[in-house]
Amino acid sequence: NAGVTQTPKFRVLKTGQSMTLLCAQDMNHEYMYWYRQDPGMGLRLIHYSVGEGTTAKGEVPDGYNVSRLKKQNFLLGLESAAPSQTSVYFCASTLEVLGANVLTFGAGSRLTVL
Amino acid sequence: GQNIDQPTEMTATEGAIVQINCTYQTSGFNGLFWYQQHAGEAPTFLSYNVLDGLEEKGRFSSFLSRSKGYSYLLLKELQMKDSASYLCAAMDSNYQLIWGAGTKLIIKP
């Protein structure tokens, strides 16, 4: 099993460009999440999904859009990239949120916006 | 507001014991998680506490006091490979995780 796979691993964008980060999981997990991680700050939730066809806003959703057309895939889009979106992005998934349900993270996508 | 506090950085010696503290304030509480994150890698799960007390798992133990909003991660017999950041996260009443900024642990020989 591959677990959670994120693509691309690295990307450099110019301000105003758009791009999509892809997250794929092969564990049949219902819940999927997109986080960003910045120096000196905790992981911040951007958007999440509780099942195929559903999405919801997290703590820092502005400037991002998501889609969950298939259960195994969760896409994160940047509509018009800004330097403030320079970050490391992590996708995570879990089967359910009750009890000690562990998040499985992807390897991360490092995005630089110039 | 909801908040997690943990030290930014700690240094310890190989073979020693280190305790990483975490205090939390959340709207409701559904458990406390510890994750390990090596530099440039993804976080990986270490422990989960939902009831007061100590949970031991090999060289790692985690403690929770719900009345004090406090947890700690105890690492024994430190090894160089334990050099990493340790992330504390509390789950609130909506089952959302609130993450601390992480504690960078430096192990010296």
Instruction: Answer whether residue A29 shows pLDDT above 70.
Output: yes
* Structure tokens given for A18: 């758009």
B58-82 residue pLDDT tens: 999 999 999 999 999 999 999 999 9
For chain B, how many residues are written? Answer: 109
Mutate to test the interface with B, among A10, A34, A43 (most CBs of B within 10 A): A43
CB contact under 8 A, A42 and B87: yes
**How sure is the predictor about A16, in pLDDT bands with cuts at 50, 70 and 90?**
very high
The chain B residue lying nearest A47, using CA atoms, is B96
CA A33 remoteness from chain centre: 6
Average pLDDT on B85-97 reads: 93
Mutate to test the interface with B, among A27, A34, A60, A103 (most CBs of B within 10 A): A103
CB contact under 8 A, A42 and B4: yes
A31-59 residue pLDDT tens: 999 999 999 888 999 999 999 999 999 99
CB contact under 8 A, B42 and A41: no
CB contact under 8 A, A105 and B99: no
Residues 6+ apart with CB under 8 A from B4: A42, B22, B23, B24, B25, B88, B89, B90, B98, B99, B100, B101
Alpha-carbon distance A35 to nearest alpha carbon in chain B (angstroms): 11
**Around Cβ A72, how many Cβ atoms within 10 Å?**
16
B-facing residues of A in 55-94 (CB < 8 A) are 58, 90
Tell me the CA distances in angstroms from A46 to A58, A66, B22, one per residue in order.
5, 9, 24
Instruction: Answer whether A2 touches B (CB < 8 Å).
Output: no
Q: What is the pLDDT of residue A1?
A: 63
**How sure is the predictor about B13, in pLDDT bands with cuts at 50, 70 and 90?**
very high
A69-110 residue pLDDT tens: 999 999 999 999 999 999 999 999 998 777 777 999 999 999
Instruction: Answer whether residue A2 shows pLDDT above 80.
Output: no
* Structure tokens given for A100: 């000690």
Q: What is the pLDDT of residue A96?
A: 78
Tell me what the pLDDT averaged over chain A comes to: 94
For chain B, first and last CA: distance in Å? Answer: 40
Distance CA B31, CA B26 (A): 11
B28-57 residue pLDDT tens: 999 999 999 999 999 999 999 999 999 999
Contacting residues of B for A41, CB less than 8 Å apart: 101
Contacting residues of A for B89, CB less than 8 Å apart: 42-43
Phi, psi of A70 (to 5 degrees): -120, 145
